[in-house]
Chain A
Amino acid sequence: MTTMSRKEKAPMSSRRIKAWSWVHKWSSLVCTVFMLLLCLTGLPLIFHHEIGHLLGTEVEAPDLPRDTPRASLDKVMEVAQALHPGKVPMFALHEIDDDRFWYVTLGDTPLSDVGNKTVAVDARTAAVLAQPRFDEGFMYVMLKLHVDLFAGLAGKLFLGFMGLLLLVAIVSGVVLYSPFMRKLDFGEVRQTRSRAKWLDLHNLLGIVTLVWAFTVGATGMVNTWADLIIKYWQYDQLSALLAPYQGQKPPAQLASVQQAAASATALAPEMKMAFIAFPGTSFSSPHHYTVFLRGKEPFNSRLLKPVLVDAGTNVLTASPPLPWYLTALLVSQPLHFGDYGGMPMQIIWALLDIATIIVLGSGLYLWLGRRNPAKAGKAASPGKADKPAPAGITPEPHAARRETTGGAA
């Protein structure tokens, strides 16, 4: 019985290898250049806090006694807005691990993308600490190349699609691991020929980084959808809450943002402030301050609780629970950034990133070698330039056949 079915499946397996090879080749070829770019630009981004610290662009709040009373948010906003008259408030936010100062973002309109200004204001003294420029410098260029290729939403979605191709390449690579590695021990890197060596390294580094690369690739892809996810959240969750405001104009005079923040934190005293989205911004409605609170424990510090407070009357409107798709987005962010396990994790993240660069580079090298067999042969072993495809670097269809049936049974 078993023998029969194995025999029946045999030609199929060989065809299967061919099909998966085709999938692996084309999915990786299309995305490789962009993935190399993402890996290279991602490398400094892993250490953006440390680099900012070195460049002196990181905001440092002075050490004050822990019980120093906090300045009113109304005062903080007033101080920030005084520096940029004519601009409207968009956001006020704390860094996840530092609530000693506020980043206040101001723009020409609540939805403006360009010309936004950021002011760092001490949360205790309401003194201006810095006016960081997030739209210039080396790290800005790295970030833009990494996030959207300077092409806005279209660039993000394009890179997201490249990320999807990477996932396809990873999955197909895992499928092909078995026919290629059948005759080798784990980690064996043949030193005989240049091509064999690079193939073995490609397979070794690819299979060992598998889970990490898949995680970072998938979470990166999810991050490219952030804008769309937030838009959907507005439509999905806020439109119902806004029904009573139908036909009303947004408040001409904004009520106290300090009071809005206070009533939000009173609703969930076990949480702390993450950020406040001002009326009309993408994270709020035209009629509300939306105060986002975060948990104080490590496992829930990334999860946000939105509280909508009427921006005209300061009446608490609602606190809709975070829908699953925003939870997924928020959880996927640390898994992409590698910023949640201290400096050792950042270093390991960088090393895994470099390993991925080698996987991409060796894959490209192997493909180029295959395209120019004469050149590859020369590189591998001088004098055998006429040998098109060196033996031992092609999959073992027979072995693979056994493997695939074994896996399927």
Chain B
Amino acid sequence: MSGKTHPVKDPAKSAAFWHLWRWPIVMGLLSATGLLTALVSDGGWGDWWSWVGLGVPVVVMAWFAWVPGKPQVCRKS
């Protein structure tokens, strides 16, 4: 966009951006394609992809919510 005014991109900033947003963007793209493909297909690949696209985010949530190694004992009240 404005490459001329900022000829040198700060690599640290860019790395930080991708560190933060890479997986949310992947999750968003998966969900979006999952929502759309089933709309234009009937029982075929579109349905299959919608199950993958919307299912992977569900699995990811479950994984991080329950499966992570728990180094510290969770002190539940």
Contact = CB atoms under 8 A, between A and B. Distances in A.
Nearest to B47: A341
Contacts of B47: 341-342, 344-345
B54 A348 contact: yes
Contact of B55 (A207, A298, A348, A378): A348
Contacts of A188: 64, 68
Interface in A364-380: 378-380
Contacts of A193: 75
B64 A212 contact: no
A212 B54 CA distance: 8
Given A191-B72, A194-B77, A378-B77, A208 B57 contact: yes
Nearest to B69: A191
A210 B24 contact: yes
Contact of B35 (A205, A207, A211): A211
B3 to A, nearest CB: 11
A2 B74 contact: no
Interface in B47-77: 47, 50-51, 54-55, 57-58, 60-61, 63-65, 68, 70-77
Given A201-B65, A207-B27, A299-B40, A212 B57 contact: yes
Interface of chain A, main secondary structure: helix
Interface stretch (A115-123, A178-186, A286-294, A314-322): A178-186
Interface string B14-26: 1011011111100
Contacts of A352: 54, 57-58
Interface residues of B, number: 47
A340 B46 CA distance: 10
Contacts of B27: 207-208, 210-211
A355 interface: yes
Interface residues of A, number: 53
A298 B27 CA distance: 26
B59 to A, nearest CB: 10
Contacts of B19: 185
B31 A212 contact: yes
A10 interface: no
Given A208-B57, A335-B35, A403-B16, A194 B76 contact: yes
B75 to A, nearest CB: 7
A169 B39 CA distance: 27
Contacts of A2: 6, 10
Contacts of A298: 39-42, 46
Contacts of A407: 17
Nearest to B73: A191
Given A1-B5, A335-B39, A348-B51, A194 B24 contact: no
Contacts of A382: 75, 77
A345 B20 contact: no
Given A211-B28, A344-B55, A378-B77, A403 B20 contact: yes
13 contacts: A177-B24, A178-B20, A187-B60, A194-B76, A201-B65, A210-B27, A210-B31, A211-B35, A345-B54, A382-B77, A402-B16, A403-B17, A406-B10
Given A335-B35, A348-B55, 20 more contacts: A1-B5, A191-B70, A191-B72, A194-B75, A204-B61, A204-B65, A205-B61, A207-B24, A210-B27, A210-B31, A211-B31, A211-B35, A215-B35, A299-B39, A334-B39, A341-B51, A352-B58, A381-B75, A382-B75, A399-B16
Interface of A: 1-2, 177-178, 181-182, 185-189, 191-194, 197, 201, 204-205, 207-212, 215, 297-299, 331, 334-335, 340-342, 344-345, 348-349, 351-352, 355, 378-382, 399, 402-403, 406-407, 409
Interface of B: 2, 5-6, 10, 13-14, 16-17, 19-24, 27-28, 31-32, 35, 38-43, 46-47, 50-51, 54-55, 57-58, 60-61, 63-65, 68, 70-77
